[in-house]
């Protein structure tokens, strides 16, 4: 069976771009704290979601709605409304992480197809079986701690579909289990749907160059003339044990394109591209390229031919295949 | 005041010694727990390797004698399970730990099927951010929940008020557990692969400090775990705790004199020492970092304790 390509849509125009570029599915979220890309200028109103689903369905593509943050205590209404609005829009699935949201969805929206977000960090057959048996979860997005071999073994032990990130931003920490951003800034993916939030970022220049800071903590330093990167906390340079290094992760992004055939062999159902914060030009290029690669593998092309298709994707930034290869650990 | 509130206010606040998060040798652990058994003012002690499955073979033979030692001293013993199990041996260890017969604390939902039908505790590595998640776990048998460290204090009060039957616990002392990874940072720093890590994390019994390029104390690493450099010191008055609905505090083991720490917290919770006295006494100990308490004040977790 072909791999399903799941593509990011931060805005209605990115959704249209992804669908037109060949996405089998797009994922997107509502414009509030219910989704883990709660950035200004992104996401969908309920009406835009209805229109987006209509457009995708007319082109044979599916829409998966991410409602993947943890509901705030005593204030679950936004998450309940997001579930109701996703169902009303005709979403093909919702992507959830919080036990309370899963429980509410399974009880009050029995016809909604449920996917388990990477934020739930379910990495074992026992945890996945729990979500499948309890809430009827049909697909699990793989935590980015497993190698391809481990995902293959996992797939053999579970009854639900799996989806794996293949391209885009990369968290070195287990998603859904990280409070680094809230330790530094008070805001975090689990609490507010943001990491290393822009309102806490400062670039300050002195005689040694530029320091990038997050709420006063220096995340990296750049020499004069060097391009200063965004201070994402876990991609910074720090001092430990007498050494200065990118201790947690180099400023790299994920590119597991060379592993597409291995993913297919491992029994993975869907490949996911990260990047709901990216513009439609980027989305078009990445989606078109990956769709060609997936189709080529489907048609029995060799790894070399597929590699040629994907060669254009490297855009200057450094890339890694992350945890999918065990040496990353 | 309702009957439940009355009984809550009258019950003595529990004091827990959490699991040792660091790679301590069996000898060190044996000595540590012997002293805890004889001298520490805690009523509950958690045992078990929570962070790294690779460390488990060194300590698994130790737990039966420690369980006996601590129980003989009148402590309630809880077995804490691994927070990020994924290979078959680690998964088996989680299941085995839940079946020993002692009360288990689960730190990943992998353990949930293994505690079905019996009471269990929920550790701070499980995402309980609202009353719905707490109610769900209580419905499965959770009798106590140690809430995630970043949970806003306003949320703590809301959740606890909704579920008076559950004993809610807060992480009150120690470097804050902030993140877990598939990657081992100790191994990476030493130029080693995780599979051949040589267990270098054992050189840093309180974790290895991580400073910013401008020399600010920031974080600490412990194998696959990242902690705060700052030492959490949540020192509420008994009234504040009762208002929050929190009935238990957790002290996380460090190389500092934990017997002294336990006595300071016991005196605080019993109303025999003020917050200021407790903080001053904690500060005088040989701590691995500055005192922080931002998470319990609605601030970034790194916010320093304001001394009174």
B248 falls within a domain: yes
Which of residues A228 and B203 earns the better pLDDT score? B203
The confidence band for B25, taking pLDDT boundaries of 50, 70 and 90, is very high
For residue A159, is it within any domain?
A: yes
Residues near B8 by Cβ (< 8 Å), separated by ≥ 6?
B164, B242, B245, B247
**Chain B partners within 8 Å of A120 (Cβ):** 127
Residues 6 or more apart whose Cβ sits within 8 Å of residue A98: A69, A70, A71, A79, B127, B129, B130, B132, B133
In this structure, are A153 and A227 located in the same domain? no
Could you give the 3-state DSSP secondary structure of residue B178? strand
Interface of A with B in 168-227 (CB under 8 A): 172-174, 176-180, 182-186, 188, 190-191, 211, 215-221
- Optimal mutation site among A183, A219, A243, interface B, most CBs of chain B within 10 A: A183
Q: What is the pLDDT of residue A240?
A: 98
Domain membership of residue B103 (yes or no) is yes
**Residues B234-271 pLDDT 10s:** 999 999 999 999 999 999 999 999 999 999 999 999 99
Residue A175 belongs to a domain: no
Total domains present in chain B: 1
- pLDDT score at A314: 54
The H or E element that residue B103 is part of is: strand B103-106
Q: What's the token pair of residue B69?
A: 């030692």
Longest dimension (CA), chain B: 60
Nearest of A22, A16, A66, A59 to residue A43 by alpha carbon: A66
Q: A111 and A17, same structural domain?
A: yes
Percent of chain B's residues with pLDDT above 70: 96
* A64 occurs within a structural domain: yes
CB contact under 8 A, B213 and A238: yes
Nearest residue, CB atoms, A217 vs list B85, B181, B216: B216
For residue A70, give the DSSP letter.
P
Residue A324 makes CB contacts below 8 A (sequence gap 6+) with A146, A147, A148, A151, A164, A256, A259
Number of domains in chain A: 2
Strand order from edge to edge, sheet including A209-214: A201-206, A209-214, A217-222
pLDDT in tens, A209-255: 999 999 999 999 999 888 888 999 999 999 999 999 999 998 888 88
What would the pLDDT profile of A139-176 be if each residue is shown by its tens digit? 999 998 889 999 999 999 999 999 999 998 888 999 99
Can you state the angle between helices A46-58 and A77-89, rounded to 10 degrees? 30
| Distance from C-alpha of B197 to C-alpha of B189, rounded to nearest angstrom | 10
Read off the tokens for B263.
């006595």
Quote the CA–CA distance of A209 and A102 in Å, as a whole number: 48
Could you tell me if A187 and A104 lie in one domain?
no
Where a domain ends, among A245, A264, A299?
A: A245
Q: What average pLDDT does chain A have? A: 92
* Radius of gyration (C-alpha) of chain A in whole angstroms: 20
Q: Say whether both A149 and A187 belong to one domain.
A: no
Domain assignment of residue B206, yes or no: no
Between B51 and A259, name the one with better pLDDT.
Answer: B51
Per-residue pLDDT reduced to its tens digit, B169-183:
999 999 999 999 999
What is the per-residue burial (b if ≥16 Cβ within 10 Å, else e) of B57-75?
Answer: ebbeeebeebbebbeeeeb
Banded model confidence at residue A1, pLDDT cuts 50, 70, 90? low
Contact A25, A115 (CB under 8 A): no
Q: Are B207 and B227 in contact (CB under 8 A)?
A: yes
Could you tell me which residues come within 8 angstroms of residue B241 by beta carbon, excluding any fewer than 6 positions away? B13, B247, B249, B269
Query: A126 to chain B nearest CA, in Å?
Result: 5
Q: Are residues A239 and A258 in the same domain?
A: no
Residues 6 or more apart whose CB falls under 8 angstroms from that of B175 comprise: B206, B207, B220, B227, B228, B229, B230, B231, B232, B252, B254, B288, B289
Whether B152 sits inside 8 A of A180 (CB atoms) is: no
- Give the CA-trace dihedral at A153, A157, A161, A166, to 10 degrees: -20
Residue B304 DSSP one-character state: B
pLDDT for residue B246: 97
Contact B133 A215 (CB under 8 A): no
Q: Is the dihedral of CA B85, B88, B90, B94 positive or negative?
A: positive
On whether residue B186 sits in a domain, the answer given is no
Q: Tell me the residues of chain A between 112 and 131 that have a Cβ less than 8 Å away from chain B.
A: 120-127, 129-131
- Minimum-distance CB partner of B159 among A73, A120, A131: A73
Can you tell me whether residue B173 is helix, strand or coil?
strand
Contact B221 A247 (CB under 8 A): yes
A156 lies in the same domain as A287? yes
* A269/A147 same-domain check: yes
Interface of A with B in 77-106 (CB under 8 A): 97-101, 103-104
Looking up residue A283, the CATH number of its domain turns out to be 3.20.20.70
- Residue B85: closest CA among B69, B59, B101, B106: B106
Q: Using alpha carbons, select from B206, B176, B201 the residue that is nearest to residue B189.
A: B201
Query: Which residues in chain B have Cβ-Cβ distances shorter than 8 Å to A328?
Result: 182-183
Predicted pLDDT at A312? 65
Instruction: Report the pLDDT averaged over residues B219-223.
Output: 98
Looking at the fold, whether A262 and A219 belong to one and the same domain comes out as no
**Res. A324: pLDDT tops 90:** no
Q: Are residues A211 and B214, on separate chains, in Cβ contact within 8 Å?
A: yes
Q: Smallest CA–CA separation between B300 and chain A, in Å?
A: 4
Domain containing B148 equals 3-175+232-278
Residue B144: per-residue pLDDT: 98
Q: Does the structure show a pLDDT above 50 at B81? A: yes
The 10s digit of each residue's pLDDT in A23-43 is 999 999 999 999 888 888 899
Give the three-state DSSP class for A3. coil
Q: What are phi and psi of B19, to 5 degrees?
A: -70, 150
CB contact (8 A) between residue B133 and residue A99: yes
- The range of the structural domain enclosing residue A151 comes to 4-170+252-328
CB contact under 8 A, B182 and A145: yes
Check residues A262 and A40 and name the one with the higher pLDDT: A262
Q: Which residues of A touch B108 (CB under 8 A)?
A: 121, 124, 127
**Residue B184 forms part of a structural domain:** no
Helix/strand/coil for A318: strand
- According to DSSP, residue B114 is labeled G
Residue B216 lies in a domain: no
Residue A299 and residue A164 share a domain: yes
| Mean pLDDT of all residues belonging to chain B | 94
In the block, residue with structure tokens 């399970």 = B81
| Minimum CA–CA partner of B299 in chain A | A186
Q: How confident is the model at residue B3 (pLDDT cuts 50, 70, 90)?
A: very low
Q: Is the pLDDT of residue B10 over 70?
A: no
Distance of CA B94 to the CA centre of its chain: 18
Give residue-wise pLDDT tens across range A63-119.
999 999 999 999 999 999 999 999 999 999 999 999 999 999 999 999 999 999 999
| B210 inside domain | no
Say if the Cβ atoms of B85 and A123 lie within 8 Å: yes
Contact A247 B228 (CB under 8 A): no
Q: Kindly state whether residues A134 and A236 are assigned to the same domain.
A: no
Count the neighbouring beta carbons within 10 Å of the beta carbon of residue A113: 16
Contact B136 A100 (CB under 8 A): yes
Q: Is residue B249 part of a domain?
A: yes
Q: Which DSSP category does A234 fall into?
A: G
What are the beta bridge partners of residue A64?
A27, A93
CATH no. for residue B136?
A: 3.20.20.70
- CA–CA gap between residue B178 and residue B186 (Å, rounded): 16
Of A76, A98, A218, the CB nearest to B213: A218
Q: Are residues A270 and A235 both part of a single domain? A: no
Q: Please state, for a pLDDT cut of 70, what percent of chain A lies above it.
A: 97
Whether residue A115 is contained in a domain is answered as yes
Q: Which of A74, A178, A238 sits opposite B218 (nearest CB)?
A: A238
Which run of H or E residues covers position A26?
strand A25-28
Domain final residue pick, A200, A215, A245: A245
> Are A46 and A126 in a shared domain?
yes
Residue whose C-alpha is closest to residue B130's, from B165, B111, B107, B155: B155
Q: Is-contact A35 A68, C-beta < 8 A? A: yes
Hey, what are B76's tokens? 């309630």
Specify if A23 maps to a domain: yes
């Amino acid at each position: 069976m072909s791999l399903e390509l799941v593509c990011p849509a931060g805005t209605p125009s990115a959704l249209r771009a992804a669908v037109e570029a060949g996405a089998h599915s797009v994922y997107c979220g509502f414009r509030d704290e219910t989704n883990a890309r709660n950035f200004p200028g992104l996401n969908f109103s309920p009406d835009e979601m209805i229109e987006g689903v209509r457009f995708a369905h007319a082109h044979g593509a599916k829409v998966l709605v991410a409602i993947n943050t943890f509901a705030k205590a005593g204030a679950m209404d936004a998450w309940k409304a997001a579930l109701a609005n996703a169902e009303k829009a005709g979403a093909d699935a919702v992507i959830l992480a919080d036990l309370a949201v899963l429980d509410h969805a399974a009880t009050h929206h029995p016809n909604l197809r449920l996917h388990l977000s990477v934020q739930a960090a379910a990495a074992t057959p026992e945890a996945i079986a729990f979500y499948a048996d309890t809430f009827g979860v049909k697909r699990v997005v793989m935590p980015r701690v497993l190698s391809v071999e481990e995902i293959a073994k996992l797939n053999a032990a579970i009854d639900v579909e799996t989806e794996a990130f293949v391209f885009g931003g990369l968290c070195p920490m287990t998603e859904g289990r990280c409070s680094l951003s809230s330790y530094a800034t008070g805001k975090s993916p689990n609490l507010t749907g943001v990491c290393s939030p822009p309102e806490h970022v400062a670039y300050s220049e002195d005689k040694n160059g530029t320091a990038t800071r997050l709420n006063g903590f220096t995340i990296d330093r750049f020499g004069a003339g060097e391009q200063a990167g965004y201070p994402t906390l876990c991609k910074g340079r720090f001092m430990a044990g007498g050494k200065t290094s990118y201790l947690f992760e180099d400023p790299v992004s994920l590119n597991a394109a060379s592993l597409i055939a291995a993913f297919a062999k491992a029994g993975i159902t869907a490949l996911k591209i990260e990047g709901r914060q990216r513009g439609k030009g980027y989305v078009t290029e990445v989606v078109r390229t990956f769709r060609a690669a997936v189709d080529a593998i489907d048609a029995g092309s060799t790894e070399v031919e597929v590699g040629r298709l994907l060669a254009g994707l490297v855009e200057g930034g450094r890339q890694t295949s992350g945890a999918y290869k065990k040496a990353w650990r | 005041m309702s009957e439940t509130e009355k009984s809550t206010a009258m019950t003595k606040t529990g004091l827990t010694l959490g699991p040792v998060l660091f790679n301590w040798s069996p000898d060190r652990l044996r000595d540590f727990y012997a002293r805890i058994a004889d001298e520490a003012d805690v009523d509950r002690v958690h045992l078990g390797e929570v962070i790294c499955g690779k460390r488990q073979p060194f300590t698994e033979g130790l737990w039966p004698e420690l369980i006996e030692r601590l129980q003989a001293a009148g402590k309630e013993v809880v077995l804490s399970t691994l927070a990020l199990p994924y290979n078959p041996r680690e998964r088996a260890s989680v299941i085995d730990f839940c079946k020993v017969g002692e009360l288990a604390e689960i730190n990943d939902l992998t353990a949930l099927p293994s505690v079905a039908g019996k009471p269990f505790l929920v550790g701070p590595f499980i995402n309980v951010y609202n009353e719905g998640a707490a109610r769900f776990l209580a419905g499965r048998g959770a009798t106590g929940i140690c809430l995630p460290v970043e949970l806003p204090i306003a949320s703590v009060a809301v959740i606890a008020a909704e579920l008076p039957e559950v004993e809610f616990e807060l992480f009150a002392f120690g470097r804050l557990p902030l993140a877990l990874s598939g990657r081992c940072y100790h191994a990476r720093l030493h130029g080693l692969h995780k599979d051949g890590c040589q267990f270098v994390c054992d050189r840093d019994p309180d974790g290895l400090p991580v400073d910013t390029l401008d020399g600010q104390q920031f974080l600490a690493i412990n194998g696959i775990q990242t902690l705060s450099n700052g030492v959490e010191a949540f020192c509420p008055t008994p009234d504040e705790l009762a208002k929050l609905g929190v009935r238990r505090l957790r002290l996380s083991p460090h190389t500092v004199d934990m017997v002294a720490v336990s006595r300071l917290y016991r005196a605080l919770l019993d109303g025999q020492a003020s917050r200021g006295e407790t903080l001053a006494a904690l500060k005088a100990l040989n701590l691995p970092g500055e005192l922080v308490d931002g998470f319990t004040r609605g601030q970034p977790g790194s916010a320093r304790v304001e001394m009174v």
